[in-house]
Structure 1
Amino acid sequence: MPKLIKNAKELILETSEKLLFQVGYKDFKIREIARRCGIASGTIFNYFTNKEMLITAIMARDWDNLLADIKRECDLATDIATAVSIIYKGVRSFVEKYESIFVDYPGNIIGQFRKYHLTVRQQITDILSNLLSRLNRMEPLPVISIFAEAILASSAQKDIDLQALLQFTSLLFPPVAE
């Protein structure tokens, strides 16, 4: 009879994340995860079809947790610049955390990223839309989507810093006279 492991998927994810950051993408092996979890490699494949899917699941879980934190903090923001700073710093921290994984990834990381890019941009757009609505700033959705893209791109790249983004923010959303 097969060994039943309570919360096996969570155990695999937690163990895998630790291993991923200890050894990097190149030395990240399913057999080692199985050994550390005390399970057969096949058990891992019951949950994740391959190494890439497992790493994607780790990153998705991290992103979901980060996004919840960003939303919570932006719900408390009293101005657009504060929210932009929160989003920028959150995305930047995620990129920095996974930068070495992106560098070592042997496939087309840009192609993999495109799968999730629109979803992430929409999530940022939703946060901004909620904030602008709360601040009684009604902007057309295309403007918010393009702004979300600017935040995402600048936080993922190193050539546009937060100060430059905040300058752009003040031009796009000048203070409203009360």
Structure 2
Amino acid sequence: MQTAKKQLNQEGYSKLALRSIAKECGIAVGTIYNYFPSKDMLVAYIMLEDWEIALRTMRQYCESTKNFLEGFSRIYDGIIGFSELYKPVWGEYSFTGNAKYSFAERHRLIRGQIADLVRTLLLRFGQQRGDGMCDFLAESLLTVAVQEDLGFEPLAKVIAKLYDL
């Protein structure tokens, strides 16, 4: 996994080759295919490991933050940090066929994980109303994180007004 991640970061998605990984590790390429049926699955697993680290860090921030907006900002920072790691990879990847469905499915999963963080913050800071807004707020965070021209500040202002912060 370390070799695959190193090659992915150095060479990019399009030049990542399972044969090259196997050679550097001193194993047969078939061994890799026993665990990962495709390059896409290997890359997805690499990303998943980093996403789990980012998610764990965001949870810690949500548990230690002093107020809702700060926690909301820390979630945003976590999303930005993760997306910066893989922006070059996503730029090379073509979302066709089953990948489109898989991407939509993963997006819903990630949105749900972020919504859980937002819900934790809302409950922690006594914001009982708006629980139905968690998915919307999570999607807003994701959108602002990947649409660099939008920026976090306008979203933070909306949140502050919505929750009288």
Do they superpose with TM above 0.5? yes
Partner of 2:123: 133
- CA shift, 1:82, in A, is 0.6
Q: TM-score, normalised to structure 2's length?
A: 0.92
> 1:156, 1:143 → 2: CA distance?
20
Q: CA RMSD in A?
A: 1.4
Partner of 2:110: 120
- Identity value in percent: 32
Partner of 2:87: 99
Report the more deviating stretch, 77-86 or 45-54: 77-86
Partner of 1:74: 62
> 2:161, 2:119 → 1: CA distance?
18
> 1:170, 1:107 → 2: CA distance?
36
Task: Give the AA of the match of 1:105.
Answer: Y
Partner of 1:173: 163
> 1:87, 1:16 → 2: CA distance?
28
Aligned length: 163
Using a 3 Å threshold, how does the CA distance of structure 1 residues 97 and 110 change in structure 2: closer, same or farther? farther
> 1:112, 1:158 → 2: CA distance?
24
Any unmatched runs of 5+ in structure 1?
1-12
Any unmatched runs of 5+ in structure 2?
none
Q: Deviations over 1:24-53 (max 9, x none)?
A: 111100001001111110110111001000
> 2:6, 2:109 → 1: CA distance?
26
Residues 8-157 of structure 1: matches in 2 within 5 Å?
Answer: 13-108=1-96, 111-157=101-147
Report the more deviating stretch, 139-148 or 60-69: 139-148
Task: Return the index of the structure with the highest Cα Rg.
Answer: 1
Task: Give the AA of the match of 1:115.
Answer: E
Q: Deviations over 1:73-95 (max 9, x none)?
A: 11111211111111111111211
Task: Give the AA of the match of 1:148.
Answer: A
> 2:4, 2:15 → 1: CA distance?
12
- CA shift, 1:122, in A, is 0.9
Task: Give the AA of the match of 1:38.
Answer: G
